[in-house]
Amino acid sequence: MEIRVVATVIVKPEFLSEVSDALHEVIEPSRQEVGCLQYELHRDIDHPETFVFYERWASKEALLKHNDTKHFVNFAQHLEGKLVALDIKRLKSVA
């Protein structure tokens, strides 16, 4: 079953440039993973400190493997202490 992820990242102002770079760096290796169907980063027009990832994964297993990859683990560690909020929703299509 396909899994979709919507992850909202709100960055502390003093870390905006640094976190923005880290967000962009995780995209390409994630897109290369087996089971990654879509991996996009968006930025809120009215709130430039807010980023939203929209992801589609072929299965729950593919998403779990992604969460354990070296590039993703390093990325997550790099964000520690630099965010106002992080909201991750795992979704399935119902209609």
Can you give the three-state secondary structure of 2-15, one letter per residue? CEEEEEEEEECHHH
Q: Would 83 be classed as within a structural domain?
A: yes
Res. 31 pLDDT band, cuts 50 70 90 = very high
Res. 8 pLDDT band, cuts 50 70 90 = very high
Q: Would 70 be classed as within a structural domain?
A: yes
- Residue 36's domain comprises 3-90
**Whole-number Å distance between alpha carbons of 59 and 74:** 23
Domain count, the chain: 1
pLDDT at residue 84, as a whole number: 98
**Total-model pTM:** 0.93
Strand pairing class (50-57; 3-11): antiparallel
In CATH, what number is assigned to the domain containing residue 73? Answer: 3.30.70.100
Q: Would 95 be classed as within a structural domain?
A: no
